[in-house]
Amino acid sequence: MTEPNHSLDPQDWSNLRAEGHRMLDDMLDYIEKIRERPVWQTIPDEIRSGFRQNLPQQPSDLAQIHQRFMQEVLPYAVGNSHPGFMGWVQGGGTPVGMLAEMLAAGLNANLGGRDQMPIEVEKQVTQWMRELFQFPESASGLFVTGTSIANFIAVLVARTKALGLASRRQGLAASPHKLVAYTSAGAHACVSQAIDMAGIGIDALRLISVDAKFAMNLDELEQRIAADRAAGYTPFLIAGTAGTVDVGAIDDLDALADIAQRHQLWFHIDGAYGALAMLSTSIAPRLKGIERADSIAFDFHKWAQVQYDAGYILVRDGQAHFDTFATPTSYLKRETRGIAAGERWPCDFGPDLSRGFRALKAWFTIQVYGAEQLGQMIAHTCELAQYLKARVEQEPQLELLAPVNLNIVCFRYRPLADAHIELSLDDLNRDIVFALHESGIAAPSTTSVNGVLAIRAALVNHRTTRLDIDRMIDATLRFGDQLLAF
């Protein structure tokens, strides 16, 4: 009697292989010809409702499902691969990163631990990051989903360092210390979320006001630390930002490092998108002080263009990082030989046990393009921001709303003095952004700067050129004029 075949591998490999090659070609075509597409388009109702079906009991043809993806999913993505995408802070991805993802998926490695080369690839990237940020050999690093989780890990390490290892058993409630932390009012919301998830409570995060350049006010920070100490609190963490999400401001990292040192606080940097500007020789000097941080959280999936998701946490004191998460268990016992060999595994440095091979796409990207080219690409997006700033300043109907620190430009449309407008300026600019999105021409986002709504263009995508900036500005003026004419 022959054994029934329950494997999910195909009966006919040649068919699957041919379909696989078509998929690869489809995606290479997609990236090569992305300019010919709209940045984004509204999802038709019938397509959305087609994705509310019951659990399929029977198999479907791979080619047919592939076609569904091509027609019903691919055209309705957010568009961050497109050169006209300037919303939020999102990377554009590269064909090299895409191919690396395919290789990683084929290997299907689990990077929680054990003796395998994929972990050596991740360690290689960690070594590069230590070099880039001038961290010591004893520093540890870990790929995670994104900076939100990387910031969370940093808060946990800082908390455990401040309260001692016993706090892992006893919890915060057993501690007489009332922990408090500091960040700027311009910090990303995930910093306060990290404080929340760590059980410290959002109120314990002191939001320090920002100066004219949107960097943390240092005098206020020092005063707040002193006042908190006097009131019986235990300051434990300063979280600086290298590239705020609203306007791209960089805190004075060197000064923050001094303050942290003087008060013996953990100095963390949220460098989600800005930290990798260290790759650019022209921008790196502006991040001075980053090499003094206790921990840095950042994303390869933003400015470095690595495919989603690829966040990263680098911790100077690798032992403190290990001590925060290491959890001895019999089924994860380390051996001296065989597959279970190795002393410290990635699962000892974060809450994830099963982990995908994120490191491979970062390793491929850095190897294939080289640090220098990546740095030049990053610097170029900052040059484009200066070009956009100049265009805004040239147009009487446009107004710049924040200094252009890096690659983010905040501006708004403002009717000429004699124009009569029914809408508030905020509503008018919001409508302009809706029109831009729905036209498929360009996709900036909005934010609030000093209480007014700003059109916010974050130039992150390596495919963006001056032509894309011109198209965005021309369309902004056109839609602004049209909306006024109503």
Ligand X SMILES: *Cc1c(COP(=O)(O)O)cnc(C)c1O
Q: What is the binding site for ligand X (CB under 6 A)? A: 89, 146-148, 188, 190, 241, 243-245, 270, 272-273, 299, 311
CB of 89 to ligand X, least distance (A): 5
Read off the amino acid at residue 462: H
CB of 191 to ligand X, least distance (A): 7
> Which residue, 117 or 202, is less far from ligand X as judged by CB?
202
How far apart, in whole angstroms, are the C-alpha atoms of residue 275 and residue 443?
24
> Which residue, 269 or 377, is less far from ligand X as judged by CB?
269
How far apart, in whole angstroms, are the C-alpha atoms of residue 105 and residue 136?
32
CB of 18 to ligand X, least distance (A): 37
> Which residue, 87 or 118, is less far from ligand X as judged by CB?
87
Question: Tokens 């590069």 map to which residue?
Answer: 128
- Collect all residues with Cβ–Cβ distance below 8 Å to 254 and sequence separation of at least 6: 288, 289, 292
CB of 458 to ligand X, least distance (A): 9
Q: Where are the alpha helices (DSSP H) in 332-424?
A: 358-394
Q: Which helix (H) or strand (E) holds 148?
A: helix 147-163
Question: Tokens 């920070």 map to which residue?
Answer: 221
> Which residue, 130 or 301, is less far from ligand X as judged by CB?
301
> Which residue, 207 or 475, is less far from ligand X as judged by CB?
207
Phi-psi map region of 266: left, alpha, beta (phi>0 left; psi -120 to 50 alpha): beta
Closest CA to 448 of 456, 437, 438: 456
Q: CA dist 207 to 137, 179, 218, Å? A: 33, 15, 12
Helix 147-163 and helix 189-197, axial crossing angle in degrees, nearest 10 = 50
> Which residue, 188 or 462, is less far from ligand X as judged by CB?
188
Kindly give the pairing relationship between strand 311-315 and strand 140-144.
antiparallel
CB of 308 to ligand X, least distance (A): 9
Round the CA-based radius of gyration of the chain to a whole number and report it.
25
Residue 276 DSSP symbol: G
CB of 241 to ligand X, least distance (A): 6
CB of 149 to ligand X, least distance (A): 7
> Which residue, 129 or 483, is less far from ligand X as judged by CB?
129
> Which residue, 191 or 473, is less far from ligand X as judged by CB?
191
> Which residue, 89 or 388, is less far from ligand X as judged by CB?
89
How far apart, in whole angstroms, are the C-alpha atoms of residue 34 and residue 391?
25
Question: Tokens 């089924």 map to which residue?
Answer: 331
> Which residue, 398 or 402, is less far from ligand X as judged by CB?
402
CB of 246 to ligand X, least distance (A): 9
> Which residue, 273 or 364, is less far from ligand X as judged by CB?
273
> Which residue, 154 or 260, is less far from ligand X as judged by CB?
154
CB of 457 to ligand X, least distance (A): 15
Q: CA dist 62 to 22, 103, 149, 169, Å? A: 11, 20, 35, 50
Question: Tokens 């080219």 map to which residue?
Answer: 373
CB of 332 to ligand X, least distance (A): 27
Per-position DSSP letters for 75-109, written without gaps between them: GGS--TTSTTEESSS-----HHHHHHHHHHHHHT-
- Strand partners of residue 410: 456
CB of 403 to ligand X, least distance (A): 17
CB 451 within 8 A of CB 246: no
Closest CA to 296 of 159, 198, 151: 151
Question: Tokens 């290789």 map to which residue?
Answer: 103
> Taking CB positions, which residue lies at the least distance from ligand X?
146
Token pair of 103, please?
């290789």
CB of 155 to ligand X, least distance (A): 13
- Collect all residues with Cβ–Cβ distance below 8 Å to 43 and sequence separation of at least 6: 76
How far apart, in whole angstroms, are the C-alpha atoms of residue 31 and residue 401?
34
